[in-house]
Amino acid sequence: MKKILIFEYITGGGLIENKLNYSLLNEANIILDSLIKESKNTVHFFCDYRHKYKNNNNAILVYPNNKDIIFDRNFISKYDYFLPICPEIDLILFNYVKKIRQKKITNIHISDNKSLLIASDKLMLKNACNQYMILNPDSYSSNYKNNKFITKDRYGCGCNNISIISNPLRKNSSNMIHENYIPGKSYSVNLYIKGSGYKLISINQQHISRKNTSLKLNSIDVNIHPSFNNMIYKFIDDILNVIPGLRGFIGFDFIFNNNKIFLIEINPRFTTSMALIEKCKNNHILNYINSNINEQVGRICNIKI
């Protein structure tokens, strides 16, 4: 049994100076719910004093007058394992982990700083993919004259602020990137990476709707078994060869089109779809940090966002 400390940024005090009604609050609640359910480990969690779980016995309350506890080396180091879960928006995850490492907090199992930056900066990720021939939106070409394009935040997260445009591709700016729109089905794959190996937690299909020019993630089918399963392992290996510093809970978002897999994003942290793993496989998600987990095929479950 391990003592585990959770820091989910939105529910755990990352917004202590701001309103709690953040756009990602629903997904943050789903993630936190899954992590603090009964497991074989002792799980404590940082909790914003305004959050619904403030009276939970394992909540460590964060107030304006003690907000620096989320950086407290002496406190965090009491645990066997510290799991920070922050959005990539505006490099929040990168900057938090960088500061944690500067304080010599070592009980985290998360990607190195360089890999976090590449995964958080979509322009850097595209450049790395193009340099090492990983298929991505720049690799896609269409036979249609009126091709569509995607515009999104360079330091964004998920489907936030993503739009479809019809204008020819423009140059990437310091805050936005533009890329080819790829028709096809959207998927993600969840991994736990430790040392030189990884465990494939699940493959998931994302259901995305379009309203006018905006895209929105509506739901996810978690733990599916697509016909192109074998291709996914090579896809994973290729990415890990290019970015070998990825560690811990990781998600890859991709589109399957014309028997090809195009990498869209890397989520270098715990993802929303991982919250359903216990329901799908009867294995608490935190058990993946142990090397002796008995993997199960499980069933498909749906999560609405």
Q: Hey, what amino acid is at 254?
A: F
pLDDT tens string 165-189: 887 656 667 788 889 999 999 999 9
Tokens of 47: 């909790």
pLDDT at 300: 95
Residue 89 near residue 155, CB atoms below 8 Å: yes
Taking the domain 3-108, which CATH number applies? Answer: 3.40.50
Is the domain spanning 118-144+184-304 CATH 3.40.720.10? The answer is no
pLDDT tens string 16-36: 988 887 788 999 999 999 999
Q: What percent of the chain has pLDDT over 70?
A: 95
* Mean pLDDT of the region 113-126: 96
d(CA 138, CA 149): 11
pLDDT at 172: 67
* Mean pLDDT of the region 249-270: 96
Q: Is the dihedral of CA 277, 75, 120, 166 positive or negative?
A: positive
Beta strands in 223-285 (DSSP E): 248-257, 260-267
**How would residue 73 be classed by pLDDT, with cut points 50, 70 and 90?**
very high
Domain ranges, ordered by start, for the chain: 3-108, 118-144+184-304
Mean pLDDT of the chain: 91
* Mean pLDDT of the region 195-204: 92
Q: CA-based angle 8:12:17, to the nearest 5?
A: 125
pLDDT tens string 245-257: 999 999 999 999 9
